[in-house]
Structure 1
Amino acid sequence: MRKYTILVILFFIVIGTSLAQRPGDRYDREKLEAARVAFITTRLDLKPEQAERFWPIFNVFNDAREKNLKEMSELGRVKDIEISESEAKARISKKFEIQRKMILDEEKFVRDLSSVLTYNQIIQLNGLSREFARHIYQRRKGESQK
């Protein structure tokens, strides 16, 4: 009897959590990443040998960029209602330090990419992340209206 009670409880927990999630909010991270790779590769018209050299450079830069953006976001969050002036000043200084680092990282990224891509392709790359995000948003919006 105890075994059946546990199974029934587990069944309701699984059903409850699956119903609590809206279907439109779920996404497969691997599929999303594959779509991003295909989108950028297509839009930049990368040849196979270019893509082979491009993606490792891009991934290293993008991972570092995301880490820096996350750190900057955390610096902007104030957990307590008030922080001291010295803490606020330190956070702002740290934010500027991260921004300077990000500029240096981007300059290195462009130098590294210039051996793989043309400068026109590098300029196109700048807007592709936003364009991809808009593309995904519009697809999801279209699916939710069906």
Structure 2
Amino acid sequence: MKYFLRSVLVVLVLAVASATAFAQAGRPDRLSQLENAKIAYITDKIALTQDQAQKFWPVYNDFSDKRRELNRRLRQLRITAPDALTDQQIKDNLTQAMDLREQEVKLEKDYFTKFQKLLSIRQVGKLYMAERDFTREVIKRVADRRGARTLSPASRSDE
């Protein structure tokens, strides 16, 4: 019963935070609302104790910031169309992209070790699963919302 109530609470927090974040598109606080929903979701999925949470979240946030920065740099390399570059520039961009992916793997290995010092291995495994599940859920909600927007009033009445 306790697990059921906690699950219901997390689902409600996630639903409210996601709905609020998407309803307020363009507002600077929507990302913080999404992050709060992610924290609640992960905390529940990996069953963090209060003591674990106090130690875990600063480490996880540092990991997320570093991973986000690597991904931002990787996206910047992909922006340039190859036809607008010389062969050497293409080679340099591809080499930099591979270096960034290697850095990301090293970062994940380093934090895998750090996470094991704070959590059980079962919780670490659930962490990676919870991250994927949360991302899928957010993408699904965004896609569902965009799909609802593209339907015209006439096509909605046909459904």
Shift of 1:81: 4.0
2:110 is aligned to 108
Q: TM-score, normalised by structure 1?
A: 0.73
- Give 1:36 shift: 0.7
CA deviations 1:47-98 (Å, max 9, x no partner) are 0000111101100011010110110111111157421000000001111111
Q: Is residue 46–residue 123 contact of structure 2 (8 Å, CA) maintained in 1?
A: yes
Calculate percent identity across the aligned residue pairs. Answer: 21
| Alignment partner, residue 56 of structure 1 | 58
**TM-aligned CA deviation for residue 136 of structure 1:** 3.2
Gaps of 5+ in 1: 1-22
1:105-131 CA-partner distances (Å, limit 9, x unpaired) = 111101111111111211221122221
Compared CA separation, residues 103 and 24, structure 1 to 2 (3 A) = same
* RMSD across aligned positions (CA): 2.3
Say whether the 8 Å CA contact 2:82–2:90 is kept in structure 1.
no
Equivalent pairs counted in the alignment come to 122
AA aligned opposite 2:127: L
Which residue of structure 1 lines up, in the alignment, with residue 34 of structure 2?
32
The answer for the alignment partner of 1:19 in structure 2 is none
Contact 2:46 2:126 in 1 (8 A): yes
**Partner of 1:126 in structure 2?**
128
Q: Which has the higher contact order (CA 8 A, sep 6+)?
A: 1
Q: What is the rounded CA distance, in whole Å, between the counterparts of 1:24 and 1:37 in structure 2?
A: 20
Larger-Rg structure: 1
